[in-house]
A and B are shown apart, each in its own frame.
Chain A
Amino acid sequence: MNMAEEILRVENLHVKVEDTPILHGLSLTVNRGEKHVIMGRNGAGKSTLASVIMGHPAYEITEGEVFFMGRPLDELDVFERARAGIFLSFQYPAVIPGVQVGTFLKKSVQSVRQEAVKARAFRQELNAAMDTLDMQKSVLSRYVNDGFSGGEKKRLEILQMLLLKPNLALLDETDSGLDIDALRIVAKGINQIAPDAGCLIITHYQRLLDHVKPDFVHVMIDGQLVMSGGPELALKLEEQGYDWLDATEVEA
């Protein structure tokens, strides 16, 4: 039997923003090839977890630690995390006016791979990824996320993920704002990288999980993972919401 390769280990993580505590002792392990889903109400701390792993400077770890492929993450700056293989698909990707998508993608791929990318090989790779996501080539000359619809932004995030081939993919509500066809296409992109990466998918909806089969579903309430299970847990949350978990917590 193969030993699972640990990609992410979060140990007793406490995080605050300014003076407001958000995460209260969260622990989680993600191995290569596993798809973990985190669900929870708005404000539970799901996006905070993704931002902390990516290294957003607004968040302060007050206790606990995060390890990426066995290495403490606090040693690494944001760009070093990206180069090490962490990718965050942003819930609200930044608009970069004046920077063409094609230029940005090439610079990003070169930075992460730390090598010059040959134009022809990159073009072939890019075309293949764009075909997977059913994207128009005209997007390459547009400015990054400038005037993009919600769906276009999410597709561009997934396109970046396919090109950067991360070891850890953090997907922060990548399914929100997508129509049915776009959801299916985005799911295709996630499934393409999933076998070779650890995936942490933050979502509010079961519908993404019709296309991306999770190995684990976790429920976050008030900055803690209060319950974990298989795909059936997501179905139960879709039917019953989160109130029954509050009752469980009280009973516990």
Chain B
Amino acid sequence: MSYADLAVPSRALHLWRYTPWARIHPSTVDDVPSADPVRWEVGDGGVLAEATPRAQGSPDIARTFLAESNPSVWALRCSPDAPTVHVRAVASGHVAVGHLHIVAEGDATVVVHLSGEADWAGLHITAEVSDNVRFAYGLVNELSVNSKLLRCEDWTVGRDADVQHASLSMGGFRCKNDLRTRFTAPGSRLTQAVSVHGRGERHVDHHLEIHHDVGRTDSSLTVHSACDDRSHAIATGLLTIAEQANHCDAGQVFKNLLLSEKARAEAIPELEVLADEVAAAHGAASAPLDPNQMHYLMSRGLDAQESAALIVEGFMHDGFSSLTNSDLLEALRTRLTVHLECELKR
């Protein structure tokens, strides 16, 4: 089905409630503008090769739009025993679109750094994690503060695989993230973590779907959003456990730190559990800066601005505390610290 055949999705769906298609589309919703390709650069341990376009599953307006804007696909393979593979995705021009397919046939750590000055960036990342593979992946969004981003990801996780999936969102003006993971075989685990730094008028929407189609699969999702100024962070989670998918253990936690009176954050976990013998939990909390934490840090010589910055940094790091891959954590920590130090100097 082509983009022209698809109806503009209803705002009644969680996915489109807070960032409707018209607000994230680069022009008008009837249009598929010509797009420049996202430029990919891969560091040591990774190899990029052009791949064949992937067949679309169920018709989805965002994925169809991205495929029609730029049908080319690049496949990333990691060398066995490679250190962390850093992939740079640079989005330039008016509209830039890229599709990266990650071939996760062996243990690896991949960090994608998204940057560039494009007015509008579209990114589609797909990955099939093979059986018994331990795969760690992070995406660091460092786009220009004026960019719009549409990011879709589709992951499938094989038998006894372990996936650590992190998103660090610091760039872009309006960002729509639609990240979906599907368990296809038992014994596998997903640990997914998202940290968002909202400032200025930034609008960051994460829609996170995790589908337990088979039993004996575990997932944990943690989303931390720190919102300052007039920024707006949204996180909607959709966790499904199929009827026969017993013995799953799944949890979602959403936390928001509100740093100004005009900052806003929504956290909407949603569970559809059809199996009986499962553990599924969710929680959401929003709070301003804790005055006791502020007093404690100020009593150690940090002024109010430094104290608040350290609390924000800690809050965002804490969003990744469920991850255990030290290389991935180090990469995220480094980028976050640099970003926040630059923010403090503004």
Contacts and interface: CB of A to CB of B under 8 A. Distances in A.
A57 B296 CA distance: 12
B306 A111 contact: yes
Interface string B304-332: 10110011011111110100000000000
Most buried by B among A83, A94, A98: A98
B310 A94 contact: no
Contacts of B298: 77-79, 82
Contact of B296 (A94, A97, A98, A164): A94
A96 interface: yes
Contact of A98 (B290, B303, B306, B317): B317
A79 B296 CA distance: 10
B300 A108 contact: yes
A122 interface: no
Contacts of B304: 77, 79
A81 B298 CA distance: 9
Nearest to A112: B301
Given A57-B291, A97-B315, A98-B317, A78 B299 contact: yes
A104 B311 CA distance: 11
A94 to B, nearest CB: 4
B123 to A, nearest CB: 27
A128 B298 CA distance: 25
Interface residues of A, number: 29
B244 interface: no
B252 to A, nearest CB: 18
A57 B295 contact: yes
B58 interface: no
Contacts of A56: 295
A71 interface: no
A99 interface: yes
A222 to B, nearest CB: 26
A115 B311 CA distance: 22
Size category, B interface: 20 to 34
A95 B316 CA distance: 15
B293 interface: yes
Contacts of A93: 296
A97 B318 contact: yes
B299 A143 contact: no
Given A57-B295, A78-B295, A96 B302 contact: no
A158 B315 CA distance: 25
Contacts of A83: 301
A83 B295 CA distance: 14
A160 interface: yes
Contacts of A236: none
B313 A99 contact: yes
Interface in B233-253: none
B75 to A, nearest CB: 35
Nearest to A146: B318
B297 interface: yes
A94 B293 contact: yes
A90 interface: yes
A199 interface: no
Most buried by A among B301, B318, B321: B301
A167 to B, nearest CB: 13
A168 interface: no
Nearest to A87: B299
B301 A111 contact: yes
Contacts of A160: 300
A98 B299 contact: no
B292 interface: yes
B293 A143 contact: no
Given A78-B295, A104-B310, A98 B321 contact: yes
Given A79-B307, A90-B296, 7 more contacts: A77-B304, A83-B301, A96-B310, A98-B316, A108-B300, A160-B300, A164-B300
3 tightest A-B CB contacts, nearest first: A98-B314, A98-B318, A111-B301
15 contacts: A54-B295, A55-B299, A77-B304, A79-B301, A79-B307, A83-B301, A90-B296, A94-B295, A98-B317, A98-B319, A107-B300, A107-B306, A107-B310, A111-B300, A143-B318
